[in-house]
Structure 1
Amino acid sequence: MNREEPQTFLGDFNDVLTEDEKVSIHSQPRIYLETFRRFVDDNGLIDVDLKGSKFTWFSNPRNNIITKKKLDRVMVNWKWMQIYQNAILKASPAVSSDHCALILETQPLVQIKKEFRFEVF
């Protein structure tokens, strides 16, 4: 992966980064957490903060038990984050799917060049 160019990875990663990204009666195998975390760290990726819902996937209820996970996310590198510092990631409610749609709003950081003026008093 080229770290000198802005990079974005988004979609269903089908795994969680931390145990608090899952609510279930079944625990997440440690090896899955470690493998995904290592991939993120090795590639210098940053998980864009999700506004609204903490979870992006919901199971069909069985015996009134629902599993919730943050499977869908947007991950970027540092170069991307420098350009889009004001980016906002939102999750819309899951309507016709068991996944929430993610909406990434970006506004590039605009640097205004001010003309330098020297005034003599």
Structure 2
Amino acid sequence: MRIGRVLLSATSLTTMFGAFLADWNETHVHNPNWPPHAKFHNGQTMSMGLALGACALGSLWGGRPSRGRLDAATAFASLYWITQLSAALYPGTALVDPPSTRKGRQPVIAGATLALNALGYALERRRIR
């Protein structure tokens, strides 16, 4: 069983479709309080996740397994989540919009996804040696 590839594939699919599932609603895409430019960047983020996940899957499954393909797949599968964590460092950002009192789960999801990517990478790297 190629559990490393399965883990990286699962996180890649989450990267591809997670933002659409989380954001295609009244809090983001259909939020009347968001200015058009904020919606533009939300769309950009969703499209970036879709593209990075697709690149990860292509690198992972698109040819003969190699260290280079694994490195590329893991980088593609991780970049979206790394940039999501870094977004909180910019001035004026918040994990949720007021008046919501919910706590933002993005750091937990990003951290768990990156941990799964690291585990998948380690398992697959050992397998293809």
Superposition TM-score, scaled by structure 2 size? 0.26
**Where is the helix percentage greater, Structure 1 or Structure 2?**
2
**Where is the strand percentage greater, Structure 1 or Structure 2?**
1
Superposition TM-score, scaled by structure 1 size? 0.27
